[in-house]
Amino acid sequence: MNKKFDFYFDFISPYSYLAHKQIDQIKKKTNIEVIYKPILLGGLHKLSGITPHAFIPSKSKYMIKDCKIISEKFNIPFKFNSYFPINSISIMRGVFFAEEKKKLYEYINAFFDAYWKQGLNLSENKNIESVLNSISINNNEFNKFISNERIKNKLKEETNIAYDKGVFGAPSFIINNKLFWGQDRIEFVLKEINK
Amino acid sequence: MNKKFDFYFDFISPYSYLAHKQIDQIKKKTNIEVIYKPILLGGLHKLSGITPHAFIPSKSKYMIKDCKIISEKFNIPFKFNSYFPINSISIMRGVFFAEEKKKLYEYINAFFDAYWKQGLNLSENKNIESVLNSISINNNEFNKFISNERIKNKLKEETNIAYDKGVFGAPSFIINNKLFWGQDRIEFVLKEINK
């Protein structure tokens, strides 16, 4: 049986991208199973009473450099997106579509890459469509799916559930009911896995 | 010539304590010089528009566990202070007194230990006095010094200067005009030192 942990993420979060890539590197060496948990970071921040990095000028400026040194440390291709921040709600809802289509990992990886490696403006529909095309997901079917009330509510619910578990930021990880926050805490997640 | 970096800290910050102890460990192995930069974290947060961890329930709850696992990783004696948060302004102003008395390191280490190792309530004068006694600093002289307008302004100015340099939290480090934030970024400070 594989060892599992929950990975809470939002495409809008550069640190979630850096976590995703580190987890991919670990997966190559270790048998772990990642339970991908899409949440809306904006909603989580609102629930928690946190002002996002992006809206604090000094923190925002620092974050760009910080992400760069972390990407270099782990040899992760990375470019801070010049269209940051955007509203990620559509592509986060789309995670549930990819899940139903059995393309969960492909979808997550493609959208993380599109935003944090290729630097696409994912607030434009044509760019979302091109990412969907690259993983053979039908754009019309996708749009219909993510406009469904059930799906809209599902993302809200997942975000609320995460908040109730103590999650207040992304990336976050839960293993053995223990919460870890930040890509720099992955080492502790692994320690917990190997207990 | 020793390699130097600036270390911005406030006794109120558990991560500043954890940084201080890691830096002490590094000092034993490497020739580095630390320029201690007292700042008022509350003031810095206000200038930056940041709500402190302590006032965000989910973050605050997480921080206690997070500090514990970090202290264990580095074998640092640590106890989350049950009198947290307090107003650290008096003991932060006192850093300048210790500097004049050539007891800067002793003072910093004693107050960090008092708050994050011994768990003293440092909002009580009698506890501050007992820490001062332990490093042979006269309490009356100390109180007179920290009530001086010049010293009050100095801490404000140092905080403003830090903010102007991009500092928005503690611990922060500046080396070669590069800013690093958080005890988990010390590895990058060392990398920069050894360039």
Domains of chain A: 3-193 (3.40.30.10)
- For chain A, say whether B4 makes contact (Cβ under 8 Å): no
Does B62 contact A178 at a Cβ distance shorter than 8 Å? no
* Structure confidence at residue B2 as a pLDDT band (50, 70, 90): low
Amino acid letter for position A149: E
Q: Give pTM, 2 decimals.
A: 0.95
Does A51 contact B56 at a Cβ distance shorter than 8 Å? no
Task: Determine the pLDDT at residue B194.
Answer: 87
Q: What percent of chain B shows pLDDT beyond 70?
A: 99
- Segment B88-103 shows an average pLDDT of 98
Q: What is the DSSP letter of A32?
A: E
Does B51 contact A51 at a Cβ distance shorter than 8 Å? yes
* Structure confidence at residue A24 as a pLDDT band (50, 70, 90): very high
Whether pLDDT at B162 is above 90: yes
How far off is chain B from A59, nearest CA to CA, in Å? 7
Q: Which residues, 6+ apart, have CB-to-CB distance to B150 below 8 Å?
A: none
- For residues B108-147, one letter each, b for 16 or more C-beta atoms within 10 angstroms of the residue's C-beta and e for the rest, the string is bbbbbbbbbbeebebeeeebbbebbeeeebeeeebbebbe
- What digits encode the pLDDT tens for the residues B60-93? 999 999 999 999 999 999 999 999 999 999 999 9
- Segment A153-165 shows an average pLDDT of 98
Q: What is the DSSP letter of B182?
A: S
CA atoms within 13 A on the CB side of B84: 20
Does A66 contact B167 at a Cβ distance shorter than 8 Å? no
Whether pLDDT at B1 is above 60: no
A interface test, pick of B45, B58, B188 with most A CB neighbours within 10 Å: B58
- Segment B49-54 shows an average pLDDT of 85
- For chain B, say whether A163 makes contact (Cβ under 8 Å): yes
- What digits encode the pLDDT tens for the residues B11-39? 999 999 999 999 999 999 988 999 999 99
Whether pLDDT at A2 is above 70: no
Task: Determine the pLDDT at residue B18.
Answer: 98
CA end-to-end span of chain A:
15
User: Mind giving me the DSSP string for A145-170?
Assistant: HHTSHHHHHHHHHHHHHHHHTT--SS
Please list every residue in chain B whose beta carbon sits closer than 8 Å to the beta carbon of residue A55: 49
Task: Determine the pLDDT at residue B51.
Answer: 85
Task: Determine the pLDDT at residue A1.
Answer: 57
Q: How far apart are CA B168 and CA A62, in angstroms?
A: 9
